[in-house]
Amino acid sequence: DAKTTQPNSMESNEEEPVHLPCNHSTISGTDYIHWYRQLPSQGPEYVIHGLTSNVNNRMASLAIAEDRKSSTLILHRATLRDAAVYYCILREGPMNYGGSQGNLIFGKGTKLSVKP
Amino acid sequence: NAGVTQTPKFRILKIGQSMTLQCAQDMNHNYMYWYRQDPGMGLKLIYYSVGAGITDKGEVPNGYNVSRSTTEDFPLRLELAAPSQTSVYFCATTPDRNSNQPQHFGDGTRLSIL
Judging contacts by C-beta atoms under 8 Å, the chain A residues touching residue B98 are 94, 102
Chain B: residue whose CA lies nearest to A39? B107
Residue B54: CB atoms within 10 A of its CB come to 10
B106 touching A (Cβ < 8 Å): yes
B73 secondary structure, DSSP code? B
Number of cross-chain residue pairs from A and B with Cβ atoms under 8 Å apart:
69
Mean pLDDT (whole number) for A94-105: 59
Give yes or no for B30 touching A (CB within 8 A).
Answer: no
Contact A112, A10 (CB under 8 A): yes
| Contact between A101 and B58 using a beta-carbon 8 Å cutoff | yes
Q: Closest Cα partner for B78 from B10, B7, B32, B17? A: B17
Per-residue model confidence (pLDDT) at position A2: 55
Contact B102 A46 (CB under 8 A): yes
> How far, in Å, are A85, A110, A111, B56 from residue A39 at the CA level?
7, 12, 10, 29
Residues of B with Cβ-Cβ distance to A32 under 8 angstroms = 99-100
> What would the pLDDT profile of A35-66 be if each residue is shown by its tens digit?
999 998 899 999 999 999 999 999 999 999 99
**Which residues of chain A are within 8 Å of residue B96 when distances are taken between CB atoms?**
102
Quote the CA–CA distance of A37 and B54 in Å, as a whole number: 29
Res A97: pLDDT = 40
- Per residue in B34-88, pLDDT (tens digit) is 999 998 888 999 999 999 999 999 989 999 999 999 999 999 999 999 999 999 9
Whole-angstrom distance, CA of residue B7 vs CA of residue B34: 13
**For residue A100, pLDDT beyond 60:** no
- Using an 8 Å CB-CB cutoff, list chain B residues near A108: 40-42
Tell if the CB–CB gap between B41 and A109 is shorter than 8 Å.
no
> Which one of A30, A49, A51 has the shortest CB-CB distance to B102?
A49
CB A102 to CB B94 under 8 A? yes
Query: What confidence tier does A108 reach under pLDDT thresholds 50, 70, 90?
Result: confident
**Cβ atoms B49, B62 nearer than 8 A:** no
